Amino acid sequence: MNDAELESNPSPDITAEETIVGGQTESLIDQQTLNQAYGQIDALKNNVQRLLIGQNDVVEQVIIAFLAGGHVLLEGVPGLGKTLLIRALAKSIDLDYKRVQFTPDLMPADVTGHSMLDMATGKFALRKGPAFTHLLLADEINRAPAKTQAALLEVMQEYQITIDGQSMPLETPFMVLATQNPIDNEGTYPLPEAELDRFMLKVLVSYPEHQDEITLTKLNTENQTGVVNASIQSVLSKEDALGLKALVSRVLIDDKVVDYAVGLVRATREWDGIVHGAGIRASIALVQAAKVKALCEGQGFVTPDHIKAMLLPVLRHRIILSAEREISGSSAEQVLSEIIQQAASPRQ
């Protein structure tokens, strides 16, 4: 079962009109603000989708992670627009972005920066690395060894970089968007668990539908510009983006829905066929992503359906299946779908 199928199976319990708050439907955000936020997010999605044709779910999930203050691990075969996505997102919000090609000889200082001796003054000067940006693309992150990947641990969790004992906060907003190829394992390194857990979402990028591929082919062969080199205009300012991020904290979620989300995460720690379940970061990420998902739909409150819609991208990279389930051909998505089907949704 994929992400879209989960969204198409709505919860029969709490619906968008039946959220429980003292027996009434309430919202901490007025309708005018909700409508404005919905329009801004929709404009952002449409603008990015102009370049990333046929990847609507991918675009939405990346935007959700951005507004939720999280990071994204994109997995897909080459040529599906993974590196194009961050450029389109950055230009749509008029943000700075940097790209780092991860290779086996890449050093941690190549990502974060380092001190170097200024021969003219005889003093050490700080040379900032590409991590000092708004959006950082870590391209083919699994091609660098663990010591280089570890350079991102502080960056992703603390939103700061320490060089020679000096800690420097990163400018907000900030997001790491990493890519990896699931097929080519030669010359790659596994991502450490501590690093995987810092990615809010793992988004799978698949091939576009037939008609979308036709559109892509025509755009790239009928003119010299093509999709990759097409210009894209800004539709949101940095201040607009920060305003949307601040609005997420005001999205209402009932205690019963929080308990439902935490229960799903905790179930992975005891489920037959899972040898390593998701940690506390997963519960936080699931609730936060569900809040943004609700905002993307113009709602000021979270329902169990929003939790279900975000469960796979939040948890698929945080669990380790047993050898028996892997040998039988089971995937993380299938096991997580079993948990969803057997977990009781909260009722009014």
Report the pLDDT value the prediction gives residue 258, as an integer from 0 to 100.
Answer: 97
Total domains in the chain come to 2
CATH number, residue 74:
3.40.50.300
Query: Is 252:295 a contact under the CB 8 Å cutoff?
Result: no
Of 249, 266, 297, which residue is a domain's last? 249
Residues 317-345 have a mean pLDDT of: 93
Across the chain, the runs of DSSP E, i.e. the strands, are 72-75, 97-101, 113-118, 123-128, 135-139, 160-163, 166-169, 175-180, 201-204, 274-276, 320-321
Same domain assignment for residues 96 and 181: yes
Q: Is residue 34 part of a domain?
A: no
Q: Is residue 168 part of a domain?
A: yes
- pLDDT tens sequence across 135-162: 999 999 999 998 899 999 999 999 999 9
Same domain assignment for residues 267 and 245: no
Q: How large a percentage of the chain has pLDDT more than 90?
A: 68
- pLDDT tens sequence across 173-219: 999 999 998 876 777 888 888 899 999 999 999 999 999 989 888 88
Q: Is residue 35 part of a domain?
A: no
Q: Which domain holds residue 167?
A: 40-249
Same domain assignment for residues 269 and 138: no
Same domain assignment for residues 242 and 126: yes
296: pLDDT strictly greater than 90: yes
The label of the residue with tokens 């929003």 reads 306
The label of the residue with tokens 């450490």 reads 192
CATH number, residue 264:
1.10.8.80
Same domain assignment for residues 339 and 227: no
Q: Is 85 exposed, middle or buried (0-12, 13-18, 19+ CB in 10 A)?
A: buried
- Please give the residue that has the higher pLDDT: either 181 or 254: 254
- pLDDT tens sequence across 119-129: 777 777 888 99
Pairing of strands 160-163, 113-118: unpaired
- pLDDT-derived band at 113, boundaries 50, 70, 90: very high
Same domain assignment for residues 228 and 180: yes
4: pLDDT strictly greater than 80: no
Same domain assignment for residues 69 and 23: no
**What's the pTM?**
0.88
Residues 57-62 have a mean pLDDT of: 96
Same domain assignment for residues 176 and 212: yes
What are the beta bridge partners of residue 128? 113
Query: Is 252:243 a contact under the CB 8 Å cutoff?
Result: no
